[in-house]
Structure 1
Amino acid sequence: MRGNKYGAKKTVKDGITFDSMMEAERYRMLMLLERGGVISELTLQPVFQLVEPFTKMGKKKRGIKYTADFMYKQDGQTIVEDVKGFAARDFSLRRTLFDMRNPELILKLVTKKNGRWEEK
């Protein structure tokens, strides 16, 4: 399979195609946490509207949507995760728009360094 512009290669796990091996590994970890009762309601690829579609000077403009990697409940809170080898340049803007539109949700950037999962 062809990779993306950052060098990640699509990976299939449990019949699901993930954008990267790291994302597939995180899915496996989250599935174990769900089976163990640590998290619940694991969802893949949740979509959030960050900017509504609008019209400017008679021209229709598309809205902006953000697709995260995972969403789940933990300790009564809803967590949204984006798995990245590194934060893309536009992630900080995306996070700000996400937080503004979804103050009740927690957005975590998750990466793996030296064999350990880290959250930002």
Structure 2
Amino acid sequence: MKRPVAHKYGAKAALCGFCTKPHPSRREAKRCADLHILQRAGEIDELEVGPRFFFEINGRPLVHDNGRRAVYTPDWRYRRVNDDRAVVEDTKGMRVRDWPLRKALFRACYPDIEVIES
């Protein structure tokens, strides 16, 4: 039997109670539960857990040296009902080294979507 691997930054996996996806940290699970409550209250709509966004420049996919396409997977994507704005949100307990570059690339490739760190 395989032993569970400890998280790199000491986070403990948790469930939010609304979705079946286990979250890598308690902070992320709590925020997921909050977002589900906001969706039930009608403040946000179209909540999606773990969407994938591929980076393209001038219509061509951005590809790593190993051939894989560069991708950004935020924790959530949703639409605010009051201003009809698309939002992606990432829960950051610790900022990793590549986050500022990934965020800048996302903003350049998807200027109509707001990026939120919680």
TM tier, smaller: 0.7 to 0.9
- 1:6 matched to which residue of 2? 9
Count of equivalent residues: 107
Is 1:69 paired with 2:72?
no
- 2:51 matched to which residue of 1? 46
Counterpart amino acid of 2:92? K
Structure 1 unaligned spans of 5+ = 111-120
Q: Is the 8 A contact 2:63 2:70 kept in 1?
A: no
Q: Is the 8 A contact 2:64 2:70 kept in 1?
A: no
Give the structure with the higher percent strand. 1
Counterpart amino acid of 2:99? F
- TM-score, structure 2 length as denominator? 0.81
RMSD value, Cα: 2.0
Distance in 1, matches of 2:113 and 2:5, equals: 33
Aligned residues: percent identity?
34
Structure 2 unaligned spans of 5+ = none
Distance in 2, matches of 1:55 and 1:5, equals: 24
Q: Is the 8 A contact 2:28 2:91 kept in 1?
A: yes
Distance in 1, matches of 2:55 and 2:11, equals: 25
Give structure 1 regions of 4+ aligned residues with deviation exceeding 6 angstroms: none
Post-superposition offset of 1:16: 2.1
1:30 aligns with one of 26, 35, 49: 35
Distance in 1, matches of 2:86 and 2:64, equals: 33
SS in 1 for 2:55: strand
SS in 1 for 2:22: strand
Measured against aligned partners, the alpha-carbon deviations of 1:7-63 in whole angstroms (never above 9, x if no partner) come to 11221233321111111000110011111111111000010112525598xxx6322
Q: Is the 8 A contact 1:72 1:78 kept in 2?
A: yes
